[in-house]
Each structure stands twice: as structure tokens, then as C-alpha cells.
Chain A
Amino acid sequence: MELTLFVIVGAIALLSAVMMLISENAVYSALFLILNFAAIAFFYLMLDAGFLAMVQLAVYAGAIMVLFLFVIMLLGADPVRHTTPRKLRWLPKAAMVLAVIFLLTASVAIIRGDVGAVGGVAPTLTADGQPLSFGSPAHIGWLLFTRYVLPLEIVALLLLVAMVGAIVLTRDSVGKRPPVVRRLANPPAELERPIVGESGQS
């Protein structure tokens, strides 16, 4: 049973990754990536890492994809909208088929208890303070806030730095328009430049 599940979901993960690459519409690519993330979240669930699966969905398929889509739309999806070649017109339909297969497989497997049976989301530790089981959210919480508290606080600093960086690199100072917009005032020539310049005399 596990092998069958792995083959089906693995095929979906691979296919969605390939389709993400061949799709010429950046927005479609982003949607394929969501499907890919979801399939990978299911793998985590198969490995009894339920918490990771939820994090994968919430952070990657959720927040990061929203960010990706905004960036795609910021750069302007219009130039690529009409360029989908005739031979790739089947992509959206294929995506829907894949998504339906994935949802059916995943939900049936979860309801049958084929995956995720270990760990659970139970918010308890056992009576003597032992975590319920390895990899459950309660266990992760226990470890994060005892042994791994130093990395945890460093991560908080990292998030702080990330926020500062995002604002430093996109804003001049208080209240001004972000530079990204001004740069795109004359996009085509600039966008066609290779991003990485010549690497010099090395």
C-alpha cells in the first residue's frame, strides 16, 4: 500500500515539477509549484512527520507562493500571457487532472489511516512528561524549547534581519516609492540584460 501511494504521489510530484519547467506562463508555473509542494507535504506525512507536512503547506504552498505570485505580477505577467504555444495548450487541463488525482489519493489515504497514524496532532505529553511520540508537534515543541532554544532565538534574529533587509533593499527612506517600480518604468531593454554580468578576467 505504501509503495502504491509513493508511486502515485511521486509521479504527481515529478510531473508537476516538469510541467512547472515547460510552462512558459510564469503564473501557471507558480501554480504547478503549489501542486508540487503539496505532493511533497504528503511525503512528509508518509514519513510520519505530520508537523513538517503542515508547515510545508502553510509556509511554502501558502506564504511563499503568495510572495512568488506577487513578484511575478510585479514584473508583469503580461508579456508572457499570449506566448503559450499551441502544443502546450493541454497544460491547464493536465494540471487539473493531476490535482484531482492528488486530492483523491491523499484524502483517501489519510482517511483510511495509511499515513499520519503515528504522532497525530494530539496536544498532550504523557503523564511523566515524555513526549507522545517522536516527530509529533508536541515533541517538536518540547525539543525546540529545551535543547534547541539557542537556534530558535537565532532564528528570531534571522527573521528580524530578513525584515530589515527586505525594507533596506526596496525602500529609499520613509514614504518614498520603492525603487523597483521606478526601475520598471523602462523595462524591456533592462529586463533582457543578463542578470549576471561578465565574470571578468579570472
Chain B
Amino acid sequence: MFTVPSLSDLNLAATLPATLLALGASVLLVLDLFVPKGRKALTAWLALAVLGVSLIVALLSLGDVVDLGTGEGAFFGLYIADSFTDAVSVIVLVTAMLGVAVAYNYLERTGMQRGEYYVLLLFSALGAMLMGAAGDLVTVFVALELLSIPLYILSGFRWRDEGSEESALKYFILGAFASGFLVYGIALIYGATGTTAFGGIWAATRDLLAADAATKYVLLLGAGMVLAGLGFKVAAVPFHMWTPDVYQGAPTSVVAYMSVAAKVGGFAALVRVLAWGLPDFVLSGQSAAAWQSTVWLIAALTMILGNVVAVAQNNLKRLLAYSSIAHAGYILIAVAAMGTAGVANEAARAVVIYLMAYAFTNVGAFAVIVAVERDDGGHTDIDNVRGLAKEQPVLAASMAVFMLSLAGVPLTAGFVGKWFVFKAGLAADLVPVTVIGVLTSAISAYYYLRVIWFMYFEEGEGKAQIAWPLAWGISVAAIGTLILGFFPYLLSDMARGIALAFGG
């Protein structure tokens, strides 16, 4: 411990996707200062290039084509470079690339075009990636902040508009509060186990339970607070209140990115904390981890509330906000399943599969709203997609694909995601919550199909503004949704290598 380390001890190569992104984002921030106003397309292209390079490296590493020294930790174990890290990186980077494509025209026509947008987006993507790579609660915390703070700023990007300002303020204040919970939880876990590293927590938990010390309740409280802090990020009930207001007020291109990125980051960290750090935290008289019952209860509440309230929404952004709450609930089934010994690996894979499917689908759905929205930020009600099928058949067809995928109809990515999640839930004997998942999916079909009904069977002007980066973004998202739906093995292959480092 007390020998002076050298640079090779950092194992920088294993962190290459993240390091490249960090370097690229910092350089882009400086370069953008010299890109004249009106030529910001250059910044957007460079941002795409940075994300693309990082994505290629992450994909190569995920596919075991190149060995970056994964499997070992980097930065003294604070960065774990394994398949889970690579998979999370891929999801985040795809989301960010779609996010840039969706944003460019929208920023241009709403007068928000500033280079900082892309730089902040890159930094927030880096935060989400690092949350997936975290091997220590300290990394989780700083990475969460790196994910969140750019998102607060981006929510307020249209600060002339009161809705955007309100959205940023609300998100920031509640987010800071949630971070407080997380830090307090981390402190309690540290107090109970004497370490913040997941490996250390895992080992200390065993000793703690063997000694049957009362300290285990401190650990329980700490785990609960971490759950609350991260539950806020992924918009799980009862920490979901901010979601509809923030999604409605923030610029739509931001929401397209953030609705996925924040979820990926939050769930990645949850998986790391619960499955890597606390899988064996089983209180006496129970067969599964102590946090499992809480998580599945939250999952059930989240699915019910999200889906039921979404039925009553007439604003598309609010509708998708409640839908995103509901989807957090589905993923939480898999998170809860990780508490059962022997199912943990399968459940962690289900989380990754669901998030990948959700990334294409949800960014795509918001991208369609971006196309429909007017320059002043209005025109996002469900009434505004009336007649879209006549005027913009391709756009309407893409939206239909996204809605079907969100509803979980077979042959779409959403179905594959739900399939693996429910399978994990059943494997862990969480039958009631899985049944609730299936039932609420049926409810959700109503409001997703309603959007399709409005596009295809109602008369209206169906106006939309599409230019090519946006069109490309929507096309990639729609094709991705379909391909992953037709070839589910692509998703399961991607998650194949994910295995717990300890226990499991």
C-alpha cells in the first residue's frame, strides 16, 4: 500500500474508451472557442467523431477483439474494466451519438446553437460511462455528479423560456438533495464496513454477518440511502416527482438524450453497488439479499404509477416522462432479481439488454417529438401528431415502431428487453412483481397505441420539420429498434460476458 506507485500501475490502457472521451471533450471545449458562430456544425461533427472513436474502442473491447487489459481493475481498483463496463459504455455512446444527431437542427432553428451543448453532452456521457465502471463508492459519487451537472445545465439551455428555467432549477435542487442521500448512504456503508471499495464491502459484509454485529443495520440503512439517491436518477417511485416537469420544460433534444443517459448511469451504478458490493448481504431468516424486497416493492409501485398516470397525459413529453418512469420499474425487476443467489449474472445481463433496447427506442421517440415541435417549444401535445401519417409517412412509421417497441410488442427491441427482464424475475421467484410487470405492460399498450391512432386515423395538419441529421438519427434509432427486435441474439451476445467479480 505504501510503496510509491508508478504510471503503469494505473493501467490506463484499460480505461481507453473513457480516457479518449475525456480528452476529446476537453480539447473540443477549447477548439469550439475558435469555431465562429454559424459554423457550429463543425463542433457537432467533432463531437460525433470523439464519440465514434470511443465507441469503436469500446465495441472492440466488448467483442474481445482487442484486449485492453480488461478483467483487471485500473486506477487501483477504482475503475473496473470488464464486460459490464464495455456494455454500458456502448449503450451510453450510442445514446450520445443519437443525442448529437437529434440536437443539431433543433438547436439551429430554436436559436440555441452553442458549442457548449455538445461539450456538456460529452462530459455527461463520460459520467454515465464511469458510473458503469465504478469499482468504488467514491467513483460512483463523482461520476454521478459528472453525469448530472451537465444535465442540469442542458435542461436550462433555453433559459429565456420559463419552462426550461423551471425545469433546470427543479432538477438541480432535487438532484442535489438526492446526491445528499447518496453521500450519506456512502458514509454509512463506510462506517459499517470500513471501506468504500466494492470488493472490500463484499468481504466486510461476510464478516459482519458472521459476527452478527448490530452494525449490519447501519449497513442496511446505508444501502437504503444509496438506493434512494440512485432511485432519483432513474426516476423510480417515490423519487420520480421531478420527471414530468423536467422533461416537459427542458429542451426536447436534451430530454431525448437525458431520459436514457441518466437511466443508464443510474442503473449501472445500482448494479455495481448491489450486485458487486452487497450481493451476500443476507439478513438471518431470509433467502435473498436484504435489499431485494425493497427493490421489488419500488419496482411494482413504479410500474403501476408510471403506467396508470401516463394514460391520462395529453402532452407527448409528459406522456413519455411517465412512460420512462414505468420503464424504470421494469428494469428494477431485474435489479431485484440480482438479490437471489445464482440469478445475479442473468439479471445483470437483463438490465444491460433492456437498457440497450430502451436507448434506441426512447431517443427515437423523443426525436420524433423534436421534429414535430415548433421553434418556440410549443406544439408537443398528442393533438399535434394528428394526420402525421399522411404528411410525413416515414416519420409516422418510425414513431409507430418506437411506440410498439415501448409497449413491448414482439419483433421490436422493447419486447426482447422485457422478455429477458421478466425471465430474470421468474428465475428469482419474484412472481408477483413479474405479473404486475406483464399486466402494466398491457395497460401501457393503450397510451402507446393511442399515439399511433392519432397519427394514422385522425385528421390534422401533421406538420413536422425534418432535416438530415435529425432524419439520420431517427432512421438509425428505428432501424436499430427493428434489428434488435428481429435478431435478439445480438443483444444477448452483447451481454454474454457479464459476470460478477465476487460471489455470484
Chains A, B in direct contact (C-beta < 8 Å)? yes
Residues of chain A at the chain B interface (Cβ within 8 Å) = 128-130, 146-151, 153-155, 157-158, 160-162, 164-165, 168-169, 173, 179, 195-197, 199-202
12 contacting pairs across A/B (C-beta < 8 A): A129-B3, A149-B10, A150-B75, A150-B139, A151-B139, A153-B22, A158-B146, A160-B123, A161-B150, A165-B150, A165-B152, A168-B120
Kindly provide the distance from the CB of A89 to the nearest chain B CB, expressed in whole angstroms: 33
Kindly provide the distance from the CB of A133 to the nearest chain B CB, expressed in whole angstroms: 14
Whether A129 and B160, one on each chain, are in contact in the complex, defined by CB atoms closer than 8 angstroms, is no
B392 at the interface (CB under 8 A from A): no
Contact flags B130-163 to A (C-beta < 8 A → 1, else 0): 1000000011011101100110110011011011
Whether A160 and B26, one on each chain, are in contact in the complex, defined by CB atoms closer than 8 angstroms, is yes
Per the bound structure, the CA–CA distance linking A10 and B162 in Å amounts to 42
Pick from A129, A165, A202: contact of B153, CB under 8 Å: A165
- B contact patch SS: helix
Whether B318 and A201, one on each chain, are in contact in the complex, defined by CB atoms closer than 8 angstroms, is yes
Q: Which residues of B contact A130 (CB under 8 A)?
A: 2
Pick from A128, A146, A158, A201: contact of B145, CB under 8 Å: A158
Q: Which residues of B contact A148 (CB under 8 A)?
A: 78, 138
Whether A195 and B244, one on each chain, are in contact in the complex, defined by CB atoms closer than 8 angstroms, is no
Whether B29 and A154, one on each chain, are in contact in the complex, defined by CB atoms closer than 8 angstroms, is no
Per the bound structure, the CA–CA distance linking A200 and B167 in Å amounts to 13
Pick from B142, B157, B162, B166: contact of A155, CB under 8 Å: B142
Whether B145 and A151, one on each chain, are in contact in the complex, defined by CB atoms closer than 8 angstroms, is no
Whether A164 and B119, one on each chain, are in contact in the complex, defined by CB atoms closer than 8 angstroms, is yes
Residue of A nearest to B123 (CB): A161
Per the bound structure, the CA–CA distance linking A153 and B162 in Å amounts to 35
Whether B318 and A154, one on each chain, are in contact in the complex, defined by CB atoms closer than 8 angstroms, is no
B241 at the interface (CB under 8 A from A): yes
Kindly provide the distance from the CB of B455 to the nearest chain A CB, expressed in whole angstroms: 22
Whether A201 and B313, one on each chain, are in contact in the complex, defined by CB atoms closer than 8 angstroms, is yes
Contact flags B15-54 to A (C-beta < 8 A → 1, else 0): 0000000100010010000000100000000000000000
Whether A165 and B2, one on each chain, are in contact in the complex, defined by CB atoms closer than 8 angstroms, is no
Per the bound structure, the CA–CA distance linking A202 and B247 in Å amounts to 13
Whether B153 and A168, one on each chain, are in contact in the complex, defined by CB atoms closer than 8 angstroms, is yes
Kindly provide the distance from the CB of B145 to the nearest chain A CB, expressed in whole angstroms: 6
B381 at the interface (CB under 8 A from A): no
Whether A196 and B169, one on each chain, are in contact in the complex, defined by CB atoms closer than 8 angstroms, is yes
Per the bound structure, the CA–CA distance linking A191 and B5 in Å amounts to 55
Q: Which residues of A contact B160 (CB under 8 A)?
A: 179
Whether B153 and A147, one on each chain, are in contact in the complex, defined by CB atoms closer than 8 angstroms, is no
Pick from A149, A160, A169, A196: contact of B166, CB under 8 Å: A196
Per the bound structure, the CA–CA distance linking A102 and B75 in Å amounts to 43
Whether B149 and A161, one on each chain, are in contact in the complex, defined by CB atoms closer than 8 angstroms, is yes
**11 additional contacts (CB under 8 A) given A150-B76, A201-B312, A201-B313:** A128-B2, A130-B2, A146-B5, A149-B76, A150-B75, A151-B141, A155-B142, A169-B159, A173-B114, A197-B162, A199-B245
Pick from B74, B139, B170, B309: contact of A202, CB under 8 Å: B309
Q: Which residues of A contact B313 (CB under 8 A)?
A: 201
Give residues 275-323 of B contacting A (CB, 8 Å): 309, 312-313, 318
Residue of A nearest to B9 (CB): A146
